[in-house]
Structure 1
Amino acid sequence: MLNNNYFSYSDHLIEPPFTHLKSLETLAIYNQGHKGMLNIPSNFLEGLTSLQEFMAGNLNLNSLDSKTFSYTPRLQILDLRRNELTMVSPKVFMPLQRLSTLSMPSIGLQSLDFLMQANLTEIQYLQVSRNALAVINQTMISSLTKLMYIDLQGNTFSCDCSNSWFVDWAIKNNDTQVLNADQLTCNYPSNLRGNKLIELDFESCTVDQGFYYFILTTILVLLTMLSSILHHFLKWQVVYAYYRLLAFLYDNNQQRKKGDSSGVQYDAFISYNTHDELWVMSELIPQVEGEQGWRLCLHHRDFQPGKPIMENIVDGIYSSRKTICVISRHYLESEWCSREIQVASFRLFDEKKDVLILVFLENIPAHQLSPYYRMRKLIKKRTYISWPKPGEDTRVFWQKLRVALETKGTSEEESLILSGLRRI
């Protein structure tokens, strides 16, 4: 018992005072003069390998070295009351895995998180009264698995939802005694200062679990419905938007929106069904590429191997000045052809240019086009020409296709040309 003396030390001791007291179990050094010790040297307790109790209250300590208790692995009771340890590092307490009683009243503590971080699972008695603790959280209390007694009197509790769990726990738990829990008072907010913490109504802080599940279920149902609607009505718009985003990331989107012709590789992208491939190969390509000298983008020849089909379609359409859709009944029934004309029509809407040419290989009555409402809408507004009937002269058809391919997309020029093409 070395209380009420005038100890004063530097930061590190050349000859620690207790080096040879290996059997000492209790050490008390309370009240070391008016100025106090201010600090405990890092090797002050060196040699006290059997120490079980250490009383170091009212020393005016303002810090503890992380190695202070590295020499006392058997310490079970630690009293640091009435010091100025506002902030305590968890490293200081990590060597004290047998600590069962910790007294730290009146030292200015603002948080007990260091107990959790130091993994002090053996603590049974915790005295932290008259500090500046505002919130006692569940995680910290749950980490003290053997806690039997806790003294929190005289702290500056915050009376809001952050302490609702602690109040509920203090009332209902049967394992830990919260000393005078019914006397703990509020400090914040100012209008509740002095009120009993345990008497406050925290019902508004508790979300009814059933209502919570109802909200989650409702959101899930709405998202499912929205996904179904988008898939049914806007499937290809979403696909198109996705590939447009990819194009933007690759810095191609800006050129396309500006109508920059430097990225154009083909005069026309040919969209057709495999059932009409014979006409494309024997009639369209020899005339348009061979006779007229246009460069066409074709699936079998110009698509990049290994690249996703939809990405090839988008790239082919946007790297061509025009898109020629070879329309037949088979074309209308084709899913891939539907995707191609969809992307082409989006480009038409995006760039405000007549980039779409519809070529009808057969006469399709309006009532048969009714399921293909997009096609009917395009026919009313866009360039379209029809392949002549067997025996009729095809020269006018090829001339009109040339004119359609030659248009640059200016609104006045198109309006004059299209008025003639739609009558064919």
Structure 2
Amino acid sequence: MERSTSIALVIAIIFIQLVLFAAAYSFQNCIENPANRSSFNCINRRQTNISALVQDLPGRATSLNISHNYVSHIPPRSMSHLWHLKNLRIDCNRLKKVSTHAFLNLTQLKMLNLSSNNIETIEPLAFIDLQNLTELVLSKNSLQNVQPQVFWDLEKLQILNFRINSLSNFSEIVESVAHLQGLKELDLCDNHLDSLHHSLSLPPSLSTLHICKNHLYTLECNSTFLNRIRLLDLSNNLKLQTDSFIGLDLRAISYLRLRSTSVSALALLKLSNVKPGYVDYSGLTLNSSAKLMRLCSLLRKRLKKLHKLTLQGNNILTLSDGTFKDCPVVTLTLDLSRNHLKNTTCLRFMRGQNHLESIILEHNLLCHIETCHDKQKMSFPNLTSLSFRYNRIRDVYPFAFSQTPRLTTLKLNINNIAYLDRKALKGLTHLTTLRLDNNLLTDLFESTFSDLSQLKTLNLRNNRISVIFNGTFHSLSLLHILDLGGNKITHFEHGAFGGLYSLANLYLDGNYLRQIDSCQFWRLGATLQVLDLKGNFIRYLKRYTQSPFVNLTQLKDLKLNGQLPHGMILLPNAFFRGLQNLTSLYLGNNKISSLQSDIFEDLASLEFLSLDDNYDGVKQLQAGVFKNQRKPKRLNAENMGIRSLSAEVFGNLTELRMLTLPKNALQTVDEALLKNLSKLHYLDLRLNPISCTCPNRWLKNWTSRNHQVQLVYHYDLMCGDVHGAHFYNFDTKVCYLDLGIYLFASTSTLIILLSTIPLLYVKLYWKLKYSYYVFRSWFSEHWRRLREKEEECQYDAFISYNSADEKWVLEQLLPNLEGGGSSSFRLCLHHRDFVPGRGIVDNIVAAVYGGRKTVCVVSQHYLNSEWCSLEIQLASYRLFQEFRDVLLLVFLEPIPERQLSAYHRMRKVMLKKTYLQWPGNDCTDPEKAQELFWNQLRRALRSANDSHQVEDEGEKEGEGECFSNPRPVDDETCYLKP
């Protein structure tokens, strides 16, 4: 049931991640390690809620550091979605307890660090599911007790650290770890234990046990309790007595530390079965030569050889000649550090120990190293390492190391050496490492290092050297590393680096160099790979100067950052010429006013560039400044005052993986830039006044959908123009206003078209159709022929009618208009006069334009005919567009006006002109009315086609003109309608 609940919770967390953070490659409180995408740091975020720290982390995380926060509680299952986690640090928080199921589902976890908290209790099921945990650190907490079953699930635990707690019951601790069959190391230092009383045995796998700095006065454990322990640290238990070891089986111990206890070394060797060669004799009050000689005698009885003899912190003041001659042969190391020795007496105390390889004399009170040349011809031919660090040595006299001719490592650093005799190092022909750093040396001479032909590392950092003279290092042909940083060097003589044919690393940082030129380094061009000039006083006032690096063709790492007092400010043209193999360049903290577009042109191999802290007012980098940079993978431009991130400046950095830009003046980011930087994985824009306006709308959308580039602390990015607003959720709705206008305009136009097209179809269909045919006729020159024939019309009138009204036309119209006599007319009827084989439309066009008039016989059938509509459209076109009065309307029957409303052209003719109504039987005198109808129709057919002339004649002739406005005459009301 518990497991199913856990799985359901994991699924729920995954769903939340998919919904809220599915696409955003950015984390609220964590930074993904660019070199390892499964490692995350969430330190110094001041978070109290652990869920807020880890909720948006991906399941691929294997290493997580959430130290230095304010987390006081780990809720159950709060990290269940991180099932691949192997290393977890929650140190330096405010945890008070570790709750049940706090680490549920972290089945792959190997290391868990809960140190530096306030943990007082650990609940029994707190570490459930951690079956693969190998290291658990609980140091620096407030634990007073440990429950027996608290580590029950930690089957593979190897290291358990309880250092600096308040544990007092050793038996309780043993009971809690007794079942851990894989436990190898248990650290209980700095607790409140007063004995090792126990009820159970330690795990048989345990080999390292630290119980230092407790309150032990007795061990009180059975004889076999420590029989498998190899490293036992009981130091700083001030009351622990020697007799506590009586009867204990200590044969397995390979290192026993008893510093600052009440144990007597000599008594211990007599009372116990511990192997004397594996005891650390530091801090056991062996403070005189006599005590040391007795110890040596006792050791010699039980041992022939001793690998290491450690005698730190015994308050030894002096050592007499041959103090250690009765000791077993010491083959490796003698450690006399942290005593009160004031003189080494040319190591005469080591007489007889000719096999020794290393002597450590650190943290003593030595004031000088005396001359040892030809003193009793004593020699240590196997001694290879000698350390005098952390003393008070002021002087090193000639031939100080004659008795150690085969030294390879000599450490004289962190002393007060002001005088190093020119012959002090004579005879050290095998020396490879010399440490003289952190002293008071002022001068180096040509003969100082003359015998050091095998030297590979020379450290002279933090002295008071001001000048490097010609030939100082002439004999150091194998020197690989030379550290002169932190001195007061103002210049080099011409041949200062002569003889350094193998030098690869040269450190000159923190000196007083004001200028450098190519002559200083020309001898190093073939080998030098690292040159550190950080923190000098280098400054150029002219834009044109010869490159000081022109000969350093093999240089890979150059540091010029932090020049004093105000930075370099100006970089001369072609300053980096010759550095075609340089891969790393540091120019930070220099207040460089501007970077010329060609300043980095020669750095074709550059992979890392640091320009951080060059703020000298808001600036814009010149376009093309990185034009020749195709290989940089990391660029640090923090605090440079950069205003915009544009493709013109950064677009050529196509191999860039990390771009660090905090503390700039960035307001916008060019969309094209991030398209160019296709390999970018890490982008830091913290503490920039990014504008929450429409130009950055794309950036907000990009941050929520990109899967490749990590935008560091994206959710902390503030709007530069809206106080207190965050960039990730600024309102972009207003940015879509223009698009809304376009959508509104397009949809409105579409609606209008959809509304008007049907109306236009109804009203203009025939006009458009007519226009098409007219155009076609015009195109084929038919139009021209019709217009030419207009004056010589073939017919007096074209009769437009529907076939349903053909009877009226044949029985009434033809006899009255085509009858014999002077009043007859030539009429065109479609069934009789249309040309066979010709297109019907062409026939209609020819008939309309071939007659002087067009008589439309209108009835219900006529209105429903498409061909009749085309005929009246053609005639009305001539009426309204050509101003030719050619149209006569004859209504065979009354038609309601509502039925005529759909016929725009006909309505327009009826409103503008008079029309004829065929008299029905409802008239008072039908015969008289019909006779008047035919007279009016004949008169209309005889009238001219000019509309203005017709109107004038109508005004003159009054009521007889059929195209004049009608008069209210009773007899005419049956056939003449306004």
SS of residue in 2 equivalent to 1:93: coil
User: Does the CA contact (< 8 Å) of 2:763 and 2:903 recur in 1?
Assistant: no
SS of residue in 1 equivalent to 2:644: coil
The CA deviation string for residues 284-338 of structure 1, in whole angstroms up to 9 with x for no partner, is 9xxxxxxxxxxxxxxxxxxxxxxxxxxxxxxxxxxxxxxx874547996364873
CA distance in 2, matches of 1:403, 1:107: 88
SS of residue in 2 equivalent to 1:132: coil
One-letter amino acid matched to 1:357: D
Instruction: Name the counterpart of 1:303.
Output: none
CA distance in 2, matches of 1:116, 1:230: 59
The CA deviation string for residues 59-86 of structure 1, in whole angstroms up to 9 with x for no partner, is 3333322222222222111222224472
Q: 1:5 aligns with which of 501, 521, 537?
A: 537
One-letter amino acid matched to 1:422: F
User: Does the CA contact (< 8 Å) of 1:271 and 1:341 recur in 2?
Assistant: no
1:334–1:143 distance in 2 versus 1, CA, 3 Å: same
One-letter amino acid matched to 2:943: K
CA distance in 1, matches of 2:649, 2:766: 53
Q: 1:341 aligns with which of 876, 887, 892?
A: 876
Q: 2:905 aligns with which of 374, 379, 382?
A: 374
Compare 372-381 and 143-152 and name the one that shifted more.
372-381
CA distance in 1, matches of 2:767, 2:575: 71
CA distance in 2, matches of 1:421, 1:271: 31
1:22 offset after TM fit, Å? Answer: 2.2
The CA deviation string for residues 198-241 of structure 1, in whole angstroms up to 9 with x for no partner, is 4x46485798xxx9xx989976973662363254145479979x
One-letter amino acid matched to 2:963: R
User: Does the CA contact (< 8 Å) of 2:597 and 2:624 recur in 1?
Assistant: yes
Instruction: Name the counterpart of 2:583.
Output: 52
Instruction: Name the counterpart of 1:351.
Output: none
CA distance in 2, matches of 1:110, 1:237: 66
The CA deviation string for residues 138-170 of structure 1, in whole angstroms up to 9 with x for no partner, is 554344222222211111133456656645654
User: Does the CA contact (< 8 Å) of 2:606 and 2:631 recur in 1?
Assistant: yes
One-letter amino acid matched to 2:793: V
TM-score (norm 1): 0.60
What is the count of residue pairs matched by the alignment? Answer: 334
CA distance in 2, matches of 1:421, 1:270: 31
Ranges in structure 2 where 5+ consecutive residues have no aligned partner:
1-531, 772-782, 798-851, 858-864, 918-930, 965-975
1:106 offset after TM fit, Å? Answer: 1.3
Instruction: Name the counterpart of 2:417.
Output: none
1:384–1:224 distance in 2 versus 1, CA, 3 Å: closer
1:236–1:117 distance in 2 versus 1, CA, 3 Å: farther
1:358 aligns with 2:863: no
TM-score (norm 2): 0.29
CA distance in 1, matches of 2:878, 2:568: 81
Q: 1:188 aligns with which of 704, 721, 744?
A: 721
CA distance in 2, matches of 1:36, 1:237: 87
1:186 offset after TM fit, Å? Answer: 3.0
1:167–1:338 distance in 2 versus 1, CA, 3 Å: same
User: Does the CA contact (< 8 Å) of 2:659 and 2:684 recur in 1?
Assistant: yes
1:227–1:398 distance in 2 versus 1, CA, 3 Å: closer
1:78–1:417 distance in 2 versus 1, CA, 3 Å: farther
User: Does the CA contact (< 8 Å) of 2:567 and 2:589 recur in 1?
Assistant: yes
1:61 aligns with 2:61: no
1:401 aligns with 2:936: no
Instruction: Name the counterpart of 1:229.
Output: 758
The CA deviation string for residues 13-49 of structure 1, in whole angstroms up to 9 with x for no partner, is 4x33323322222222223444544443332222221
1:418–1:25 distance in 2 versus 1, CA, 3 Å: farther
SS of residue in 2 equivalent to 1:228: helix
One-letter amino acid matched to 1:7: R
Compare 74-83 and 162-171 and name the one that shifted more.
162-171
User: Does the CA contact (< 8 Å) of 1:167 and 1:197 recur in 2?
Assistant: yes
Instruction: Name the counterpart of 2:265.
Output: none
Instruction: Name the counterpart of 1:264.
Output: none
User: Does the CA contact (< 8 Å) of 1:236 and 1:339 recur in 2?
Assistant: no
Q: Which has the higher helix share?
A: 1
Instruction: Name the counterpart of 1:422.
Output: 963
CA distance in 2, matches of 1:219, 1:117: 44
| Mapping 1:7-406, distance limit 5 Å | 7-13=539-545, 15-34=546-565, 36-81=567-612, 82-84=614-616, 86-114=619-647, 118-136=651-669, 139-159=672-692, 166=699, 170=703, 173-189=706-722, 193-198=723-728, 200=729, 202=731, 222=751, 225-226=754-755, 228-229=757-758, 231-233=760-762, 235=764, 280-281=793-794, 326-328=854-856, 333=868, 335=870, 338=873, 341=876, 345=880, 355-360=883-888, 363=890, 365=892, 370=900, 372-382=903-913, 400-401=943-944, 404-406=947-949
One-letter amino acid matched to 1:62: S
CA distance in 2, matches of 1:277, 1:28: 101
CA distance in 2, matches of 1:80, 1:126: 11
CA distance in 2, matches of 1:235, 1:359: 19
CA distance in 1, matches of 2:874, 2:602: 76
1:170–1:335 distance in 2 versus 1, CA, 3 Å: same
User: Does the CA contact (< 8 Å) of 2:533 and 2:561 recur in 1?
Assistant: yes
User: Does the CA contact (< 8 Å) of 1:148 and 1:177 recur in 2?
Assistant: yes
1:91 offset after TM fit, Å? Answer: 1.6
CA distance in 2, matches of 1:50, 1:168: 40
1:202–1:90 distance in 2 versus 1, CA, 3 Å: same
User: Does the CA contact (< 8 Å) of 1:184 and 1:196 recur in 2?
Assistant: yes
User: Does the CA contact (< 8 Å) of 2:540 and 2:572 recur in 1?
Assistant: no
One-letter amino acid matched to 2:542: S
Percentage of matched positions with identical amino acids = 21
Ranges in structure 1 where 5+ consecutive residues have no aligned partner:
243-268, 285-323, 349-354
One-letter amino acid matched to 2:588: G
1:393–1:366 distance in 2 versus 1, CA, 3 Å: closer
1:342–1:36 distance in 2 versus 1, CA, 3 Å: farther
1:219–1:98 distance in 2 versus 1, CA, 3 Å: farther
The CA deviation string for residues 336-365 of structure 1, in whole angstroms up to 9 with x for no partner, is 8736735964x69xxxxxx352333x8453
